[in-house]
Structure 1
Amino acid sequence: MSLGFGFGTVVQSIVTSIVRKDQVARLYSTISAAETAGTLVGQPLLALGLAAGFRLGGLAVGLPWFMCVVFYAIAAFPIWWMMA
């Protein structure tokens, strides 16, 4: 477990309170599909980043974490833009 363990559940509960009751099943299906797609794309990319980091050595061993920061920033930007 980590500090972000319950984050997905909290976000899902907040988003559920925003949508109409007859749209909850569609919301959960969309969330599940997005999580699956993210896993299918993200896991191989992180594995490639780790392999490249080991080849380069030094601080590059942390390349998967740097990649996560970039991917989260890319994902957060449209959300931030819509809220502003």
Structure 2
Amino acid sequence: MAKFTSPPLDGLKRRIDRHRSSHGERPNGHFVRETYRLSREQAREKAREWFDSFPKAAYWTEVESWRQLEGDQIEFTMRRLPTAD
């Protein structure tokens, strides 16, 4: 019986990175995303800035993902619509 091994994912990761960098921010209604790596307090301030500048009701602003890193650092991605239309 042959043992299954997972394929290497380096090529796929490169293709995804190339695709994302070549398309950038699209004006056709896709979300605008920005990722930050800040201290816990700075992360809270940055999220508040986004919610103040782009109200959730109009822009669907949200913290899309976050994770705690070593040294009280938070890496997080903010997401919003490009316009409030």
TM over 0.5: no
TM-score (norm 2): 0.27
TM-score (norm 1): 0.28
Q: Which has the higher contact order (CA 8 A, sep 6+)?
A: 2
Higher helix share: 1
